[in-house]
Chain A
Amino acid sequence: MTVPAAEPGGPGTEGPHPVPDASADPYDLVVIGAGPAGLTGAVTAAELGLTVALVDSAARPGGQYYRHPAPALGAGRPPAPHHDWTPFTDLGHRLAASRSLTHLTEHHVWSVARESDGTWTAHAVTGADGTDGRPVRTRGRALLLATGAHERHLPFPGWTLPGVVGAGGAQAMLSAGLVLPGRRVVVAGSGPLLLAVAASLAAAGARVPAVVEAAGYLRYARKPRVLAANPRKAAEALTYGAGLLRHRVRLHPRSAVTRVHGTERVEAVTVARLDRDWRPLPGTGRRIDCDALAVGHGLVPQIELATAVGCATRVLPDGTRGLALGADQETSVPGLWAAGETGGVGGAELARAEGETAARAIAARLLGRRADPARTALLRRRRDRLRAFADAMAAAHTPGPGWTGWLTDDTEICRCEEVPAGRVREAVTDLGARDPRTVKLLTRAGMGWCQGRMCGTAVACLASRGAPAPPPPDRRLLAVPVPLSALAAEEGEPWEPGLPEIREVPKDGEAPRVPEPPAAPRPPDSPRAPGSPEAACAPRPRPTP
C-alpha cells in the first residue's frame, strides 16, 4: 500500500487511518529508502511475514538508480541505456502485491533514535520538499537503512558556471525528465559511471567530444580474478565501450578537466594530463569546446542517520567512509541494519543482494526462525563477489593526493557559503584547523544548505594537507532540514534522565560515553558560599552552552 504524505493511512487498513507513530504499535521493520536495496529489503521482509513501513523521500519508489520519468511525460520507461530495468519491474509488482507493507512516500527522515524499550523511531517531515511542517514518527522493532549515496565532487576553477552538472545528476536528468544538460557535453571525473553517462548522453542525441577519466584504466588489470568473477560487469563495460565507439567518443585516461571557460555559461574546458598522483602535468592543457560539462568522482555513502546513533564506519578503498557491517548486514548497533551503498558503493545488483540478505536476517531474528540456509549462502556468495568487484573499482578511482594542484586560491570550495580554496588553506596553515570540522568553524565551509555534502571531500583533502588521512565520519545530527514548526510539534515525552542504554560506540577522537546519575534536585535560592562544595547553585539564567 502506498501512503502519500498527504493521505495518512496505517498498515493493513482499508480506509484512512492516522499515520502510525510512537504511540501506536510498532511495525516489525522500518526501511528507510526505496531504492534497489530498500525496496528489495522491504518486499522480502513483507513476504516473509513482517509488517513493514517503507519510508522514502520521493513520490515513487526506485531511488536514484531506478529514477523514471513522471507519468505526465508519457514515457513508459527510461531511455535505452538502462540495462537493469527488469528487476525493478519485478520489485514494483511485489510491492503492489504486498498486504503487510506500507509505503510512506514524501517522508524525509531527519533522525532515527532507539527508544528505551529497544524499538526504533524514524522522525520525518513530509511533503515534496519536506516543508509541510507535519512531523511523522514511524516506529519499528528493527530498522533497515538504505539511504544510498550522493555524488563526490572535486572542485576546479570554473565549476560553479552554469552548464556544469554532476555526472549522476546528468544521468538523473535524462532518466527523470529526458532533458540534456547541453548539446555538446564533455564527461569528466573518475569512476565507472562516466562511461554510462556518456553512453546515455550520446544515445539521447548529445555530442560527447570527450570522456575525461582521471584514473588509468589499466589499474583494473591488477585484480584480474575479481574481473573474471564478474562477467556481467565486464560485459556492461563492453556494451558502453561499443556504444561510445559508435558515437566516436574519445576517451582521455589519466586526465582531468582543470578549468572551465566561459562568462555566462560553459564555453570550453581545459583538459590536462595527470601524473600518478593526479597532479596536472604542466604544458599538457588542451582546450575542448563544449556547452556543458558532466562531472563526477564516484559516490559517497549517505550514512549520517547511522553515524548519529554511533554506528561504526570503515574506510572504503576509494577513501570514502561506509558503515561497518556484519555478515548479515547488521551495523555495530544492534537492531539497526544497512544495505546498499551505505556499506560501500557497489551498484544495484549488490544493493538488491544486500537488501534481501538483511531482510532475511531480520525476519529470522524477529520471528525466531532460522533463515533459509541455501538462499542465505547463495546471497552471501553473490554479495561477496560483487563487493570484491566494487572494491577493485573503488580502489582504481581513488583521487590521488595531487588533485588539489588544480585548485587556485579563488576556486570556490563551498558553494553554499562561497568559501574559496584560499580561505580553507589559510585556516589550515595559519589558524590551526586540522580537520574538516575546524575548517568549517573557521571558514563556514560546509555550514550551508548541503551541509558539506558537496564540499566535504575537498575540505577533508585540504585539511589533511595531502596526507592520506581518510575523512572523519560525517556527523549531521539533522539528516535533512527541518522546519522549526515541525520540531516544535514533535510530541513531548516524559523525560527519563539517564535511562537510555549506554552503548560502547567507537567514535573517532571522542571520549567514551560515561553514564552519569541525573542531576540532584537543587534547593531554590540557597545562598552560595564560595568555596563550599555543598553550596547549591543559585538559580540564575545562564543561556550559554
Chain B
Amino acid sequence: MRPTRRTPALAREVPDVIVVGAGMVGAACAFHAARAGLTVTVVDRGAVAGGTTGAGEGNLLVSDKEPGPELELALLSATLWAELAPLLPEDAEYEAKGGLVVASDETGLRALRAFAARQEKAGVTLRAVPGDALHDLEPYLAPGLAGGVHYPQDAQVMPALAAARLLRAGGGRITLRLGTEVTRVLTGPDGAVRGVRTTAGDLHAPHVVNAAGTWGGELARLAGVHLPVLPRRGFVLVTEPLPRLVRHKVYAADYVADVGSDSAALQTSAVVEGTPAGPVLIGASRERVGFDRTLSTEALRRLAAGATALFPVLAGARALRTYAGFRPYLPDHLPAIGPDPRVPGLLHACGHEGAGIGLAPATGLLVTACLTGARPPLDPHPFRPDRFPAGTP
C-alpha cells in the first residue's frame, strides 16, 4: 500500500521521498523537493559530500558543454545557482567568476571559435578574446597564446559546503540519515517502491531517488534495474595559498581540435583556477581505472606541466596536496534523471560525470517536477534512465 496523505507528525516517520546520496545532486533534489512542500529523508552511507562532491573543484560551467540536452541543463542550472547563491552563507564561496578558454595556436583557436559559435546559437553568452587582449583578463597568462573565448556564465562554488548548506537551507522538511547504508530497495507486491532497507533498519517512502553518484549503478542493481554508471578517475592538484594570480576559470582548448587524443586512456587538459581561500586548483585528468585511488605520478606530471605552461608564474608554487575523485559517467555522457518506468516510485539523479555540481539545481528541479507532477522545466526525455539496454557495460 502506498500512503498518499500524511499528517505532519507522521511525515517525520514516513517521508514523501527518500534520497539516497548526500552529495551535491542529492542535496539539490532534497532542497527542491522540500521547497515544493515534500518531506525528504536523505540517506548516505558516509557523510555529507563524502563522495565525488568532496573531490571536485566545484565548477558550474556552460563553457565546456556542446549544444544539446546537457547544455540546456547547464544553462538552467546557471540561472538556478545564481538564485541559490544568496541563500547560502559566504563560506560556500559562490563566485560568478567567468571562464576563459584559451588556444595556444591558430588551429586550436579556429576549432574553439567554431565550437563557441555553435554554443552561442544555443544561448550561451560568450565573447571572443583576441590573443593580445588575454592579459587584460588574466595578467599572468603565458605570452604568445593565440586567443580565447570568455564565458561570463561560468561560476564556481565550494562544493562540499554548498551541499551541506543547501541541505540546511531545506529546513525541517529534510531529515539526514548519515552513516546509513542502503542494502535493499523495498518493493511491494505490485513491484512499486516501498522504501529502502538500511544498516539502521527499514525506511519507508513511496518514492526513492537514486542520487548515489558514482555508486548509482550499484543502487540501481539493488532495485533490480540496469544503469551502467562507471567511475572515471580524476586528480586535482592543490597549491599552497597564493595571492590572486588566476581570476577566472582558465583552461586550454587545444583538445577541442585534438580529437585524436581521445584514444588515450589517460587524458589530461590543463584547468587552472584560483579560490577565495588562496590555493590554486589544477585539473583535470580522466582515466578509467575502477575505484583505484593510488597516485598516478604521470597524471600529476601532466597536470603540473599543463598548468605551468598556461601560467609560468606557478612554476615556483608548491603543490600541498592532491586527491583523486571518481566521476560517475554513463556511456552516452548524459546523466540519468527522472522516473524509472521499470520500477514505479524509483527515480534516478546520477551519472553527471564531472558536471554534477553545476547540473545539480536543474536536476533537483526536474526530479521534483516528476515527484509532484508539475510541468518539467525542460524536456526530460534525453535523460530517461531506461535508455541503456541490459547488455551495455
Contacts and interface: CB of A to CB of B under 8 A. Distances in A.
To the question of whether A and B form a pair in one complex, the answer is yes
Interface of A: 111, 113, 123, 131, 133, 308-310, 417, 427, 430-435, 437-438, 441-442, 444, 447-449, 451, 475-478, 481-485, 487-488, 490, 492-493, 495, 497-498, 500, 507, 509-519, 521-522, 524-525, 528, 530-533, 535, 537-545
B121 to A, nearest CB: 16
Given A488-B305, A507-B293, A525-B259, A497 B287 contact: yes
Contacts of B13: none
Nearest to B311: A484
A490 B283 contact: no
Interface residues of B, number: 109
A485 B314 CA distance: 8
A525 B317 CA distance: 37
Contact of A530 (B47, B291, B334): B334
Contacts of A516: 230, 288-290
Nearest to B333: A537
Contacts of B373: none
15 contacts: A308-B294, A432-B22, A437-B50, A438-B46, A442-B48, A475-B293, A488-B305, A495-B298, A507-B293, A531-B384, A535-B332, A539-B256, A541-B251, A543-B271, A545-B55
A509 B331 contact: no
A451 B321 contact: yes
Given A437-B50, A524-B260, A533 B297 contact: no
Contact of A435 (B46, B168, B283, B291): B46
A481 B240 CA distance: 8
B189 interface: no
A441 B51 CA distance: 11
Interface string B358-389: 10000000000000000000000110100111
Interface stretch (B2-10, B123-131, B338-346, B349-357): B349-357
Contact of A488 (B167, B263, B308): B308
B315 A483 contact: yes
A232 to B, nearest CB: 41
B79 interface: no
Nearest to A492: B301
Nearest to B159: A441
A506 B249 CA distance: 37
Given A308-B295, A544-B354, A487 B288 contact: no
Contacts of A482: 318-319
A308 B321 CA distance: 12
A500 B287 CA distance: 13
A78 to B, nearest CB: 32
- Name the residue in A123, A432, A437 with the highest tally of chain B Cβ atoms < 10 Å from its Cβ: A432
Given A431-B167, A513-B290, A514-B291, 20 more contacts: A111-B297, A308-B294, A309-B294, A431-B165, A431-B168, A434-B47, A437-B47, A448-B320, A477-B321, A481-B320, A482-B318, A488-B301, A495-B298, A507-B293, A512-B291, A518-B265, A528-B332, A539-B262, A540-B64, A545-B325
A484 B306 CA distance: 10
Contacts of A497: 264-266, 287-289
B319 A495 contact: no
B265 A519 contact: yes
B293 A433 contact: no
Contact of A438 (B54, B168, B302, B332): B54
Contacts of A542: 64-65, 284, 353-355
A432 B355 CA distance: 23
Interface string B241-260: 10000000101010110011
Given A308-B294, A477-B321, A521-B262, A531 B240 contact: no
Given A111-B297, A524-B260, A431 B327 contact: no
B304 A478 contact: no
A265 B325 CA distance: 43
Given A483-B318, A484-B314, A541 B179 contact: no
Contact of B291 (A441, A511, A522, A541): A511
Interface string B157-188: 00011001101100000001011000000000
B16 interface: no
A537 B68 CA distance: 12
B168 to A, nearest CB: 7
Nearest to B302: A492
A249 to B, nearest CB: 40
Chief secondary structure at chain B's binding surface: mixed
A512 B353 CA distance: 20
A441 B101 CA distance: 28
Chief secondary structure at chain A's binding surface: loop
B332 A530 contact: yes
A447 B251 CA distance: 24
B320 A533 contact: no
Contacts of B382: 530-531
Contacts of B319: 478, 481-484, 487
Given A495-B266, A516-B289, A544 B322 contact: no
A545 B47 contact: no
B320 A478 contact: yes
B284 A123 contact: no
The 10 closest A-B pairs by CB, nearest first: A432-B48, A497-B265, A545-B234, A544-B354, A487-B304, A514-B290, A524-B259, A521-B263, A543-B271, A441-B160
B321 A447 contact: yes
A432 B262 contact: no
Contacts of B57: 544-545
B266 A510 contact: no
B323 A477 contact: yes
Given A123-B297, A524-B260, A533-B388, A431 B48 contact: yes
A131 B293 CA distance: 27
Interface string B45-73: 01111101011110101011110110000
A544 B317 contact: no
A430 B168 contact: yes
Contact of B255 (A447, A487, A510, A539): A539
Contacts of A441: 49, 54, 160-161
Nearest to A482: B319
B316 interface: yes
- Name the residue in A485, A509, A542 with the highest tally of chain B Cβ atoms < 10 Å from its Cβ: A542
